[in-house]
Every structure is written in structure tokens, then in C-alpha cells.
Structure 1
């Protein structure tokens, strides 16, 4: 059955992937975005694109404008993708009167988005987590960061509300006091309303998961190692792997919390090789690129009730790979220092699917050049980083 879906966050490649797979399944997609021009707006998969006000400038005005789009388009489902999901979740009761909203209430999402509260929640469910503490002042942050008895292997410092590895500080076990003081001084702002997290440093690789759940039932899942990145935390190459330990973590967490929606976790390897969760993103992430070809994935997103009796969808084949082609070409190679690493990068680039360019829908790949150019101009004017500019109008840092 064909339905109408309002999809927000049209600037992101993940939203573009979602719009294409939903369109291919016969559904009508309406993009609602606070950027005037964006990836989804250039795609043939989108029937109509509507401009909204920035959600974090006046959240209620944003919610009211989104409600008008839902009513005018007679939408059946609202599918948030980026951090505007927190504003949508806050006004969920206003929106759910008119369509299904594929997002949990803000009380749930805030607990998952907050990097300290998420760890506390997972630990309360009996799941293994890295040692984590919260600080509400620089003095408290300094005391925790320099406590080698509590954190013998060093620490990671990061805002409780952050994204894409921004503002993360790494203090190794061998760091000297001046290095620690410098890292702590860089932590700004910090207060009771804007706390920071001090977490035991796990030195191994990072693995990311992306899943779709309905009322505590896991209906789709994938995982990929973070190998090629743009900056600290933005992965640009995604290759599906099966990793049982993290799958069972996600399955247990989703079931115990009765979660409905899209949910992603980041894990790091400890010295013993065990993967422990470090944070959660209760929204769409790049993992959707690996599930795009899975039969029935559209029903997991917009008609999941029929999937509960069928169990989890068949995952993609191991080795299925996607990438942000331009970013992989410009930045993905930077970690390659040996002939073998260069060869691996070339092979990985050659066999991965570019998530933006398609011969039957080429304009989003062209639009990314325009988006990048506009961001560069804004960077010159504001002094903000490109990463910060991509989320500055939608990011949500708690009610305070």
C-alpha cells in the first residue's frame, strides 16, 4: 500500500537514501527542511520540498510549520532523520494527532542523546559499559581527568550533548599535568546545564551499529567498522560486518526499553578486545546506506507492525560497502601511511557504492557541490567549522 511520508533532515545523505528507498517502494515522499537547498530537494525521489524555520531558534514555530506541512499534504507518517528529531519529539503530541510519528517522546530521546545518562541506563539494564563520570565545572573535570587511580588508561572528555566527535579531548595514560590542564581549559562551555562526560579511554577500534526497532522488537540491523573518516568522528566509508557481541547488546537494550524508531550505537574495543558502548544516536545514521538494498526495509520504517511476526529482516551480505564518494576521495586516504594501506584504500574506494550519485537521479551529487560552496562561504563569515555549520540550526543540547 502506498502512503505519504514527510521526511525531515533532507540535507543529509542518510535522508536522501531513505527518500530513494521509500520512493522505490511506491511511497510518496515530501521533504521538510530548514535549508532552502539540500540533497533531498534535488532528488527525483521527492515529490515536494518544503522550507521550514530553523528548529533550534524557535522550536514551537518550527513544530507548527511542520504540522501545517503534514496537514496540507495529508501525510500518513512523519519520519525524522537528523537532530531535528529532538524538537519534533518535544512537540510529538501536537504532531501525532495528524499522522504517525516515528520517534519516541523527548523523555526517552534525551536520555539516549545525553552521553552520561545513556551509559547509566545501559548499566542499569545489566549491560557492560566503560567507566563514566559527569562533571559540571572545570574543577570537577580536572579532578576526574587527572585521577589515574580511577582512570589508569587515560580518559576521553566530551560534552554530554555532542555529535560527530566534535570537541572531544583525548588524554592518554602518559599525559603530563600541563597536557591535562590544556584539554580541560578547552572544555567550554561547562555547567550544570551543559555538563561534560569523563569516560575511560578504550584504545581499540570503533564499531558503529544502526538498527530499526518497533515496540522493543529489532526488525533491521547492520554494523560497520570506522576505518575512513573526515575529521575525528565522521565516517565516510561503510562496510557491513556481522558482530555478535554488539548485536546482542542492541537486541537486549531495545527489548528492555521497548524502543520504537531508528537507533544507532558506537562501540570501542578495550585492551581485552571486548567492545563496549560509548554513546547512542536515537536517529538515522549512515548505517541506512547498508540496508538500502534489503528487501522489506521500507516496511520496517513505515509499516513495521507486519514485521513483528517475521522477526528481523535478512541483513545485507558481508562485504556490502557504501561510501560518501567525494569525502572518501578528499579525506579518506589521510590515514594511509604504508603501501599496503594505500592499496586497501584504492580497493575499498573502487568497490564501494557512492551513496549520492545515481545515473537515474544525478542531481543530488551535483547539489552537494553547491551545498559545500555555501558552507565554505558561511565558514569564512562565521569562523565556525564545516562540521558545526551542518548542524548549527538543528542541533539540540538539552532543554537548558
Structure 2
């Protein structure tokens, strides 16, 4: 994940010793020059017990003081209460994480706190999905546990028609949320939270997206209401860790869409000094907010979008050749960019796995997320003959 690469670099620049881990060898962050040690772990989704045991071993043997989960592996770590005797866990209880990760439960929590979140229903069959869609007119649907703009069903806006109801895997084991479509500008936030107190915050937009689902160019903006929303939810849940929200800016204010209880691209907006200070401010003495106008980009993703969507190449080029700072490619830390290319082999393997099945447009992101994604349940172990195949999880640690 680019956010993991960014945190590794920024904390490394500040003089911290970084231990990086992921579930596959070519994970870009593991090859940063700021990673003094790197580990390849089993998959948290497919080989949970071994993953938890390996993280506990690394924390103990490397005497890690701070554990920073970078994706949904945080839910596996929290649920299984991984023993970390010498470390500070920078994540909350499993109950808090599960409530925020679940799109339906999060919306209900937001409304109880007096925040603006759309009413929604949960469906467990395609027939129920059709009825709910008809009820709302312009609608938006996604799995109750989802991420990264993957599996979005709607009949309105730029994403309309990218997925059909027949494409959706809806069941009791994989329920979907359906809600009215909200028109407006997509706005995201990222916060560092210390025991319910926000110590670092970024509000940002993503003017360029990959398949209208995930940002590839970013700019910080000043919307005080977003800071207030993050503070209210953090305080109400006594959150501890990295916390992100997706919202829609409308004429009547911000509308909360979902929570990602983990880092997102907002970390790119923070300077190394701000990120470090927010992480080390354990008593929550100060709120640090990224000023508007900070711009970042994923150059490789912009190039890919130019090639695959020629009609949008001119707009992509505007951001590619802008003065926005590149996140992944860094001439002083060039290996992550090289391994980003090598890691595309995961996408090829994922597509082979789907051979003969209906191909969905977001398989690129699914390939990277597949074995670190939380879907509400997980096996506790995997057959010993299974070779662990990883995804985009990278966890940085600050050892003593």
C-alpha cells in the first residue's frame, strides 16, 4: 500500500528504526532503504493463526515499541488479541474496529451521534437487492465489509453501470448495504488518534481516480466540519490508532458514507514532522491539521490510466506533469517503485485464479487486497501445504 511506503519513509527520515512486514516478497515497502529489517508473514485472511503467531514473534524478538497496521490486518490482530508485551499497539479493541468497519453499523452509530449519514438497509440475496434498489430510485450499494472502491453497484453518477446486480455476490455470509445515492463532491479524511483525542488530521480530495473508485491524485482542503466529525467519532468510541472517513460534500453539509479504521492516502498530506509528532503525542496535547493546498500523486497509476483510458489522457497528463509530489517513486529510495512493477505479478496470478469466471473491472485492486481483507469472518488456520500468497499489507514498527 502506498500509505505504508509513505509511513515507512517518513518515520525513517525522522531517525526511527523501521521493521517492515508484508505477505509477499515483492511488497514495495519491504524494499525501502528505510526498512532496516523486513519480514514475509503468512496471510492474515487465509492463515490467521500463523499470521498472528508470526507478528507476535517479530514484536518480541525485535523488541518493537510501536505497531502500525497499514490495512485490514488490524482487525485480525485485534480479534485474536496478539500478545505484544514490549510494544504499544496503535489500534483499538476489536469491538470498536468491527463497528466502524461494518458499513451498516457505522452509519447507525453516526446517526446516533447526530451526524448526517444516509439511511440504509442490509440485503442477503439478489432479489432483496433488486427490491431495495427499486425502493431508493437512485441508489448506491456495496458489501457491508468492503474497501477501496471495489464492488460498487449504482445507477447514478460516474460509477453507474460498472457493476450489475447479476455480478453481485450477495448472501447471508456476504450481506450488502443499499442506500440512497448522494450527489456531491467526494471528500476524505485521515486522522491520528490518541485514546479518543485527534492529534493529527488531514482533509483531502482526489480529483483523479482509477476506474472512478480510488484516488491517484490528491489535494488537501480546509473543511472545519470534517475535523469536528472525526473528533466526535474518535471521542465517542475512545478510538486509538489511525482513522479515516469517506464523505460527500453537499449544499446541506457533509454526509458520512463510510469509515476505514486504518491509514489511507491522507497520510501523504502530512509532513514527516507532523506524522511523527501526532504519533508520539500520547497525551493528546495538540491538534495538528494539514493546511490546504498540499498535493500528491501516484505517477505509475496516472500513466496506467492514460494508456487504458485514452479519452482521459489529457486530464491525467495535467496531474502527471504537475508539481504535485510523487508518493511511490523517489530517487533517494528507488527500490519500492521497481518492486511496485514486480508486484504486478500478483494481478496476473489473481486473473488466472478467476479464469472462467465473470471478470470484474476492479480486479487490479482486488488482487492486492485479497489476502489481507476482512469480510466479517476468517478461518483460524490453513493447510500446511498451502503457500501463503500475500496482498498489500505492510506494517511499520518503531523498535527501541
Indicate the TM-score class for this superposition, using the shorter chain for normalisation: 0.7 to 0.9
2:14–2:272: 8 Å Cα contact kept in structure 1?
Answer: no
Q: Equivalents in 1 of 2:180, 2:83: separation in Å?
A: 40
SS at match of 2:182: coil
1:228–1:333: 8 Å Cα contact kept in structure 2?
Answer: no
Tell whether 2:269 aligns with 1:325.
Answer: no
Deviations 1:108-163 (A, max 9, x none): 1111111111000111111111121111233322222111xxx35x1101110111
1:57 to 38, 46, 59: 46
2:282 to 299, 305, 313: 305
Tell whether 2:225 aligns with 1:241.
Answer: no
SS at match of 1:65: helix
1:155–1:172: 8 Å Cα contact kept in structure 2?
Answer: yes
2:103–2:144: 8 Å Cα contact kept in structure 1?
Answer: yes
CA, structure 1 residues 350+364, in 2 after alignment: closer, same or farther (shift >3 Å)?
Answer: same
Deviations 1:352-394 (A, max 9, x none): 1111122221111111111124433442454472211101111
Tell whether 2:118 aligns with 1:130.
Answer: yes
Q: Relative to structure 2, which stretch is displaced further, 382-391 or 274-283?
A: 382-391
Higher normalized contact order (CA 8 Å, seq sep 6+, divided by chain length): 2
Equivalence for 1:371: 343
Tell whether 2:12 aligns with 1:34.
Answer: no
Tell whether 2:261 aligns with 1:287.
Answer: no
Any runs of at least 4 consecutive aligned residues in structure 1 with deviations exceeding 4 A, and if so which? 332-338
1:115–1:160: 8 Å Cα contact kept in structure 2?
Answer: yes
CA, structure 1 residues 61+294, in 2 after alignment: closer, same or farther (shift >3 Å)?
Answer: closer
1:77 to 60, 63, 66: 66
Q: Equivalents in 2 of 1:60, 1:343: separation in Å?
A: 46
SS at match of 2:39: strand
Deviations 1:247-286 (A, max 9, x none): 221121112221111011001244x353201111000111
SS at match of 2:121: strand
Where in structure 2 are the equivalents of 1:48-197 lying within 5 Å? 48-92=37-81, 94-147=82-135, 151-152=136-137, 154-172=138-156, 183-191=164-172, 193-197=173-177
1:205–1:226: 8 Å Cα contact kept in structure 2?
Answer: no
2:146–2:375: 8 Å Cα contact kept in structure 1?
Answer: yes
Paired residues, what number?
368
SS at match of 1:228: strand
User: Normalising to structure 2: TM-score of the pair?
Assistant: 0.86
User: Normalising to structure 1: TM-score of the pair?
Assistant: 0.86
2:290 to 316, 331, 353: 316
Equivalence for 1:231: 211
CA, structure 1 residues 134+349, in 2 after alignment: closer, same or farther (shift >3 Å)?
Answer: farther
CA, structure 1 residues 124+58, in 2 after alignment: closer, same or farther (shift >3 Å)?
Answer: same
CA, structure 1 residues 332+111, in 2 after alignment: closer, same or farther (shift >3 Å)?
Answer: farther
Deviation at residue 26 of structure 1 after TM alignment: 1.3
2:200–2:274: 8 Å Cα contact kept in structure 1?
Answer: no
Deviation at residue 347 of structure 1 after TM alignment: 5.3
Deviations 1:48-68 (A, max 9, x none): 111111111121211001111
Tell whether 2:368 aligns with 1:393.
Answer: no
Tell whether 2:239 aligns with 1:259.
Answer: yes
Equivalence for 1:25: 14
Q: Equivalents in 1 of 2:368, 2:224: separation in Å?
A: 33
CA, structure 1 residues 90+335, in 2 after alignment: closer, same or farther (shift >3 Å)?
Answer: same
1:333–1:342: 8 Å Cα contact kept in structure 2?
Answer: no
SS at match of 2:105: helix
Q: Structure 1: 5+ residue runs without aligned partners? A: 1-11, 174-178
